[in-house]
Amino acid sequence: MRVSVLLWVGALVACAALVSGARVHHHGVSAAHTAAAVAAPVSEAVYQREFTDFVRKYNKVYPADEFFARYAIFKAKYNAVLAHNADTQRSWSVAINDFSDRTESELRPLRTGVKVTPEQLAAFDAKAEEDAKTAPHTKLTVFASSFDWRAKNAVTEVKNQMQCGSCWSFSTTGALEGAHAIKTGKLVSLSEQELLDCSGHACSGGWPSDAMQWIHDNGGLTTEAAYPYTAVQGPSCNKNGKPEAATLSSVVHVKRQNMDALIAAINVGPVSIALDASGFDSYSGGIYSSPTCGQNLDHAVLIVGYGTENGVDYYIIKNSWGPNWGEKGYIRIKRGGDECGLANTPTYPVV
């Protein structure tokens, strides 16, 4: 038995007042409701109404024995949104979104996907030392005060990895899409599914540096249109007859925790990074800077630029959780230190 929206609405009389003041919108709980929450607890009627809106908006359907557990998680997330957004010291906002009925422990294996070992980090350091002798970013001495590769037609639309730990593939394709566009003037969406089916890594996690090397060794990567994403590993590699749309000549590893080198690399093209994504699930806007964000590298994303707002420097980062998350699929993270471990493994391809 499954509980539908209509069943829930029929079971809860308070949900009839869907047009009243306290509603959850795409960018979060209303300002009036946030202010009110500081003075008084949220009523059960409001929780029920907001959960009904959430279930309808995101087309949620739950097994009957799971329904109220999801409702309890939603209530906790709703309270957290109210408390966070009422704190005027915060530089970023949070909101109810598609993830608001899941715990972080549930979300991380499904929405992240980096797997890195100490041996891989040691190998990364050795490669970064060697690459620093000849890599394009080491030749740059003057950097723009702000930069955004989206404005230069070097970034494809925001994609969605869905319920698959394949972030590493999206970070990889994003870096190659950018490098290919900068070199050829043609922006082409590349296939994450080919990487899942053919490179030896899939929804259980991977590593962008390895994926880029695989692309190099196998002569390129085909297009998203030719080999579309399914969010599961296919039964076999199915690349026969699919032309390679982009190739790369080498993979550059940028020295870890070297902020000047990272800025230089971003001036060359979009940069694949791994970071600690704990706390990202409810992000909706602003410049993220959280003391709870550590160095547990579990998620691969793409730096596409950097800038400054009200005196605070930030990176512009493309995520792979769809355009309805964050700032139309992006997150801005404070620049200057190794926030969330983002400067630990920067990598980019040379086309």
Sequence-distant (6+) residues with CB within 8 A of 41 are none
Residue 156's nearest CA partner among 138, 133, 175 is: 175
Q: Which entry of 167, 198, 203, 293 is annotated as an active-site residue? A: 167
Got the DSSP string for 128-161? HHHHTTT-GGGG-----SSEEGGGGT------B-
State both tokens at 167. Answer: 């972030």
How many Cβ atoms are within 10 Å of 174's Cβ, its own excluded?
30
Is 167 designated active site? yes
Active-site residue 299, yes or no?
A: yes
Of 85, 97, 267, 319, which is the active-site residue? 319
Q: How does DSSP classify residue 43?
A: P
Q: List C-alpha distances in Å: 304 to 106, 150, 154, 297.
A: 28, 7, 9, 19
> How many angstroms separate the CA atoms of 304 and 151, rounded?
10
**Rounded (10°) angle between helices 44-57 and 67-86:** 100
Q: Which residues pair with 4 in a beta bridge?
A: none
Q: In 3D, which of 299, 261, 308, 306 has the Cα closest to residue 280?
A: 299
Catalytic residue among 84, 180, 201, 299: 299
Amino acid letter, residue 319: N
Q: Which residue type is seen at 87?
A: D
DSSP state for residue 14 in the 8-state scheme? G
Amino acid at 332: R
Catalytic residues: 167, 299, 319
